[in-house]
Homo-oligomer: A and B are copies of this chain.
Amino acid sequence: MQTINVELGDKSYPIHIGPDLLTQVGLLAPLLGPTNVVVTDSHVAPLYLTALQTAVGDRLTDVVVLPEGEVNKNIEAVMKIIDTLTLCACGRDTMLLALGGGVIGDVTGLAAAIYLRGVDFIQLPTTLLAQVDASVGGKTAVNHERGKNLIGAFHQPRCVVSDIQTLRSLDQRQFRSGIAEVIKHALIADLEFFDWLEANMQNLLQQKPAALKHAIARCCEIKAGIVAHDEKERGPRALLNLGHTFAHAIECDSAYSWLHGEAVAAGLILASRLSQQLGFIERNTVERVRDLTAAAGLPVRTPEIPPEQWRAWMRMDKKSAGGKLRFVLLDAIGKARLEPNVPQARLDEVLLGAHL
């Protein structure tokens, strides 16, 4: 087991990474409260709920099983959790345990953030995407019909337990979706890691334990380092959104038939192309990004979206300031920057060719 700490003063917490952690009673027991409620979804429950129930033992108060999928990441899901918490008369010292992918972590985290003005929660991510990204850093949110993650809060978990054994049950599409966030972390902050990914993509896709553990740990280290300096995204944390302005538009436009990671993959390529258009990087850098994305079996093209529809979706981007979009772009592989001045014409050129 490897442990990485997210340093946030009295909100600091550990991320534990390794095989068979779900059943390790010692990791969870010291954190449990007088009431403990597990939140999971209809896909994950049959796979891992029993293991977690065994670990929590007779301190388990109740279990909430939500319908799976991004379309269910909404305020109604949050209210369903809160209904159960009120029914069990859970107090401020309650512990929520989020067992599942990014959707379960986000929904449970938001419920924890607003129930009684804040109770504790633990992330137990069971997808690669959640283990390398969503479970770390305290961003919680649900979607609104007009945009993704528009309703949420910053609320740090007390602990993240990433059992890499759980990834074995992921279907290939879900697993590849997580790789997109791995590539993103390398692009933002670590050229050496990007080189390593180019050399080890097949090992990663085959879930070789050493490769898997290295990739997850490196992503968590990169993200923990950025979050520690800017918890509430007043500055550099926005870099973690590389590709996401495009990705959120693609997800919304597809009514979430595109997985988040698939949309991020296409978004990373669009961000690279826009960086090239603005003269920040060379064409061969864009090609390296596209080639690695393709090697992971991820989409390198977007669906065809009319320009005015792109603009409508992107207008809801949370990074916008003064009604103006701000983009995360690349200065090089391993070096991202926030760019407030992107001429509409340059952006349009990239968007018009996005599906080609």
Residues of A within 8 A of B (CB): 34-35, 75, 79, 82-83, 86-87, 89, 91-93, 110, 113-118, 139, 141, 144, 146-147, 150-154, 232-233, 315-316, 318-323
List residues of chain B with CB within 8 A of the CB of A232: 117-118
**A311 CB to nearest B CB, Å:** 10
Known: A117-B153, A151-B82. A323 touches B35 (CB 8 A): yes
List residues of chain B with CB within 8 A of the CB of A318: 91-92, 116-117
Known: A34-B322, A34-B323, A117-B152. A147 touches B91 (CB 8 A): no
State in angstroms the CA–CA spacing of A117 and B117 once bound together: 14
A-B contact pairs, 8 of them (CB 8 A): A34-B322, A82-B144, A82-B150, A86-B147, A87-B146, A92-B319, A110-B114, A115-B150
**A298 CB to nearest B CB, Å:** 27
Known: A93-B321, A318-B92. A144 touches B114 (CB 8 A): no
State in angstroms the CA–CA spacing of A151 and B82 once bound together: 8
Is A117 within 8 A of B86, CB to CB? Answer: no
State in angstroms the CA–CA spacing of A141 and B115 once bound together: 10
User: Quick one: closest B residue to A318, CB to CB?
Assistant: B116
List residues of chain B with CB within 8 A of the CB of A152: 114, 116-117
Of A34, A86, A87, A115, the most chain B CB neighbours within 10 A belong to A86
User: Quick one: closest B residue to A319, CB to CB?
Assistant: B92
Is B86 within 8 A of A146, CB to CB? Answer: yes
The 8 Å CB contact of A91, one of B113, B153, B323, is B323
Is B323 within 8 A of A117, CB to CB? Answer: no
The 8 Å CB contact of A321, one of B86, B91, B233, B315, is B91
**A92 CB to nearest B CB, Å:** 6
List residues of chain B with CB within 8 A of the CB of A115: 150-151
**A316 CB to nearest B CB, Å:** 6
**A251 CB to nearest B CB, Å:** 16
State in angstroms the CA–CA spacing of A34 and B147 once bound together: 20
Is B82 within 8 A of A153, CB to CB? Answer: no
Is A153 within 8 A of B153, CB to CB? Answer: yes
State in angstroms the CA–CA spacing of A116 and B82 once bound together: 21
Is B118 within 8 A of A153, CB to CB? Answer: yes
User: Quick one: closest B residue to A110, CB to CB?
Assistant: B114
List residues of chain B with CB within 8 A of the CB of A110: 114
State in angstroms the CA–CA spacing of A326 and B170 once bound together: 46
Is B114 within 8 A of A151, CB to CB? Answer: yes
State in angstroms the CA–CA spacing of A100 and B261 once bound together: 44
